[in-house]
Structures are given as structure tokens and as C-alpha cells.
Structure 1
Amino acid sequence: MEVGYSVPMTEPDLGWALGTLLRAYRESLPPTMGEFPHGVRGYQTLCEVVSRQQPSQLALANRLGIDPTVMTYLIDDLVAADLVERRPNPADRRQRQIIATAGGREAIATLCGQVTAAEAVVLAALDEKERLDFRRLLLKAACGHADNSTDGCEAGHPDA
């Protein structure tokens, strides 16, 4: 007796498609990142700092799914590069907030354009409307599985 249903294997599965796109994305971004501290991970961390202020370094680590110990070293390197600084959290002085410096905001502005161009190459098989729909649906699915925070998932947010 068969339980459930089976998917006919006439098309590659979701895992294959996501893996293929992720590999293409990873391959297209490192040249864009140049000497940026921690490459893509450092870029994504700085993007998060610039776009949505987290209350602490731990909250930032949780939001990005980065081990807190690794996040400490990553933030140390972003501080050394004068891209971010640590400040006492006015709501809880035991915590340190991570704040983008002017140099950090400038670096993100430059890199965002380069990352957008790299993403266009990865999604070149889609027309502009399809790219927007794909990003919207992918972010909606991701927000449905965000285990630590749904910040950025609310309707109308530019990243949602």
C-alpha cells in the first residue's frame, strides 16, 4: 500500500534548482567583494547593520545564522576596517550595538550596485518582472522559515 504521493521525476527537484542558483551566486560574488573583510559574509553583515539595527551583536548573529564566536571575530575585523563601531546600547548598557560608520555606509552603497549586477547575471534566464516575482516569492518562503526573527519580512519592506 502506497502512503502519501510521489512526484513524477520529469523535472529536477527544488533542491537541485536552489543548489544550482546558490553555486552560481557564490561564484559571481567573490570577485565583487574584493578585499572586503570576510567577503560575502562580511558584506551581508554590514548590509544588516545598515538596513536594520539589531539591539546587540548576539541579535545580529542570530538574525544572520552566524555562530556568536565567529560573529565576534567578524565584527572585530569590520571595526578594524573602520566600517562599523561598537557603542553601548542606550536601552541596555550591558550590550553593545553595532553601528555602521560613514565608511561602512559608503562601502555598502558601492557594493550594492555590484551585487545587483552579479544577481542579474545569475538570474539572466528571467525577465525583469520574473526576477522581481522570484525575489518576492523566495523572500516570502524564507521569512516563513526564519527561526530567530521575521524582521524584514513585514509587508512593504524593501527586502520582503
Structure 2
Amino acid sequence: MASTQERQADLGWSLGALLRGYLKLSAEAVGDLPGGARGFQVLSIAASNSCGNQAQIADSTGLDRTVLTYLIDDLEKAGLVTRTPDPNDRRSRRVTLTDAGSERLSQLTDRMNQVEDRLLAGLPGDDAAALRKIVARAAHALDEEAEQVCETIDQVRDEVASA
């Protein structure tokens, strides 16, 4: 059996402990939103206007497209998002925030910032900010392919719109 010291030095154990804490706190913070943390992700993506169609959102979040469809249905019923045909591809639906969705996202973002602050409260000085940057860099490196797909789609959309 691993000692406490060995376990604390193990990246997998550390990431797992942080993830469990994050999931628990975030469930409390956004539990009243349709889809909880997943719903928050969709609202955040819709607000950024990157990867706005459903297929791209599914790829970006790692959600099954069918699951995402039901989640967006629930967010739409709650008046937080709308789906509209993509002007550059009528087969595709863009997900956009409503005014109520923007307001709700702002409130939830404040809550999620508090979750992150609570989760990282034990880190001294600038360590919390450094950890956020390092983890974001590692995540983006893993997700670089998905980002490139979104950027390519945006470039094609811009070229079609300007033609």
C-alpha cells in the first residue's frame, strides 16, 4: 500500500482528488441549472461564439451528440439558449444565448469562480494562478486538434461570408 507521501506525489491521485472536489463543489454551485456543470459548459461555449453549432459543441465538450441534443432542449425550454439555422450551412443549428441566458451565465460564472477559489484556497501566494495556467496549458495541448477544427470552420465561414 502506498504511503501518504507517495500518494501525494502521484499525479493521478492528485488530479483525481482535485476533480472529486471540483465536481462536488460545482454540482452545488450549478445544480439548479438544466444539465448542471454540463449545462454551464454549453452556456459558456455559446457565449464565446466559438464552435457554436451542436456538432462542434459536442466535440468540444466530449458529450455524446444525442445527450447534448436533450441538454440543449432543456436549456432552450428554460429560455437560456436558442437554436437557429447557421446562415452558412442550413443543415447546421447554431446555439446562442438569450438575454436571460447571458444573465444566468454571469451569475453562474461568479459561483464557479468561488468554487475554484475554495478548491485552491490551500495554495500559498501565486500558486493558485500558476496552477490554473499550467492546467489550462496542458488541457489545451490535449485539445489542440478540436481547437484547430473550430478555427478551420471559422475561417471557412469567414471566407464564404466575404465571397
Q: Do they fold alike, i.e. is TM over 0.5?
A: yes
Q: For 1:122, which of 113, 119, 123 is the aligned residue?
A: 119
Unaligned runs of 5+ in 2: 1-5, 149-163
Q: Flag the 1:128–1:99 CA change in 2: closer, same or farther, 3 A.
A: farther
Q: For 1:21, which of 18, 21, 26 is the aligned residue?
A: 18
Is the partner of 2:123 in helix, strand or coil? coil
Name the structure 1 match of 2:132.
135
1:14-49 CA distances to partner (integer Å, 9 max, x unpaired)?
000000000011111122114210111111111111
Q: Specify the code of the residue in structure 1 equivalent to 2:88.
A: A
Question: Aligned-pair distance for 1:10?
Answer: 7.7
Q: Specify the code of the residue in structure 2 equivalent to 1:98.
A: V
1:77-132 CA distances to partner (integer Å, 9 max, x unpaired)?
01000100001101111111001100110001011111111111100111352111
Higher helix share: 2
Aligned residue pairs total 144
| Structure 2: distance between partners of 1:77 and 1:16 | 35
| Structure 2: distance between partners of 1:29 and 1:10 | 25
Question: Aligned-pair distance for 1:147?
Answer: 6.1
Q: Is contact 1:55–1:89 with CA below 8 Å preserved after alignment?
A: no
Is the partner of 1:144 in helix, strand or coil? helix
Name the structure 2 match of 1:91.
88
Please report the TM-score for the alignment, with normalisation by the length of structure 2: 0.82
- State the superposition RMSD in angstroms: 1.9
Q: Specify the code of the residue in structure 2 equivalent to 1:118.
A: V
Which deviates more from structure 2 when the two are superposed, residues 55-64 or residues 76-85? 55-64
Unaligned runs of 5+ in 1: 1-8, 152-160
| 2:106 aligned with 1:109 | yes
Is the partner of 2:115 in helix, strand or coil? helix
Q: Is contact 1:88–1:94 with CA below 8 Å preserved after alignment?
A: yes
Q: Flag the 1:10–1:64 CA change in 2: closer, same or farther, 3 A.
A: closer
Is the partner of 1:53 in helix, strand or coil? coil
User: Identity rate of aligned residues, in percent?
Assistant: 36
Q: Specify the code of the residue in structure 2 equivalent to 1:104.
A: G
Runs of 4+ in 1 over 2 A off after TM superposition: 9-12
